[in-house]
Structure formats: C-alpha cells, structure tokens
Amino acid sequence: MSQALSLEQLRVLPGPLPCRVRQIEPQWIDHNGHLNMAYYNVILDDAVGDLFRPIGFGPDYRKTRNCSTMTAECHVRYLREIKLGDPVQVFIRMLGADEKRMHFFEEMRHATEGWLATTSENISLHIDMSIRRVAPFPPDIAERVRAVVEAHSVLPRPEGAGRSIGLPARSKVA
C-alpha cells in the first residue's frame, strides 16, 4: 500500500495489515547460513512503512508537517530460521496508542508456507523534527491512528506480546 486510506477504510481493516512480500538479500546471511538476527529488523522496519503510509505517515509527511516517527523500543523473538530464497511477509496489528506513541506487533511469516518465523513488539514515537522531540500527533492523524487501534482491538491478543527476557524459572534455580 503506497497511499493513505480513508478514515472509513481504516475503521474497517479486517485483520492485521498484510505488508508486501519481501525477499532476503544475500549479504544478510551469516556464518550460520541463515538470515542474521540484525537484518530481521531491516525487513520489519521497512514493513512498518506499509502500515504507516495508509495511516498518513507517508513520504510527504516529513516534508509537509516537519514531523516523523522514531522507534523507542523493539522486542524481537526469533522463532524459526529463515534462509536465502525464503519469501517473507509481515503482518502488523496496532495494540494501542496514546497522544504521541504507537504500540504495535509484527508477525513475520514465510510468505507461501505461512509458518511464523519471528515476532516483533514495538513502541514508536511521534517526533516534531524542528526540535527533534516527542510531540502529539496532529488531530487528523490521531483520529486515524485511533481508527486502526479500534479496528484491531477486536482481534485476539497475539501470543508473545508483553514478554520480557529471562531464563525459565526452573533454570534460574539450577
């Protein structure tokens, strides 16, 4: 998706937003012969654009409003290896938002076989680029963000959301 959707279209998004299918680049493969952990975020970050453009954070947003978005926090779970030649597709759902933050969850799947390779939970901040500080969304954008949050609020909470990192309790005792 390259253009902003109407508010009505955002309100009736039927499920997690399917991003376009992406291919693995050869230089992203590491000594283990699989997609290196770092480059998952290249794909996941690029895919977020497929959600942000329909909301209104397209290429013109920075120019016309002098605002942008920046990632504050990102938690990736690597569930299954991806190899060169595997087509991948990211699905994104908005978990919540306030006046200046968005909380969203990405699932990266094998594009044709459907299995889950990775999840990524993120907080993104809205930034006023004239002072490079966090700032509230403009009202029209806030309404559009809210429309997506509400459309996605009927979906089941994704498995893995809200996790922190730690050894299993059993291991910590040993």
Partner 1 sequence: MSQQLPSLDQLKAQSGPFLCGVMQIEPDWIDYNGHLNMAYYNVVMDRSIDELFAVLGMGPNYLKARNGSTMTAEAHVRYLREVHLGDPLQVTAYVIAADEKRLHTFEELRHATEGWVSATSENMTLHIDMNVRKVAPFPSDIAERIRAVADVHAKLPRPDGLGRNVALPVKARAGAA
Q: Where do contacts with partner 1 occur on this chain (CB under 8 A)?
A: 31-32, 34, 36-42, 44-45, 62, 68, 70-78, 81, 96-99, 101, 103, 121-123, 127, 129, 132, 146, 149, 162-168, 171-172, 174
The least CB distance from residue 81 to partner 1, in Å, is 8
Of 20 and 132, nearer to partner 1 (C-beta) is 132
Q: In Å, how far are 1, 139, 151 from 11, measured between CA atoms?
A: 16, 16, 5
> Which residue, 1 or 74, is less far from partner 1 as judged by CB?
74
Q: How far is the CB of 34 from partner 1 (least distance, A)?
A: 8
Q: CB 27 → partner 1: shortest distance, Å?
A: 11
Nearer to partner 1, 11 or 77 (CB): 77
Whose tokens are 């919540």? That residue is 96
Task: Provide the token pair at 48.
Answer: 């977020």
Helix (H, G, I), strand (E, B) or coil at 87: coil
Question: CB-wise, 5 or 147, nearer to partner 1?
Answer: 147
State the nearest-atom distance from the C-beta of 109 to partner 1, in Å. Answer: 18
For the chain, first and last CA: distance in Å? 50
CA angle 129, 99, 126 (to 5 degrees): 25
- DSSP for 21-44 reads PB---GGGB-TTSSB-HHHHHHHH
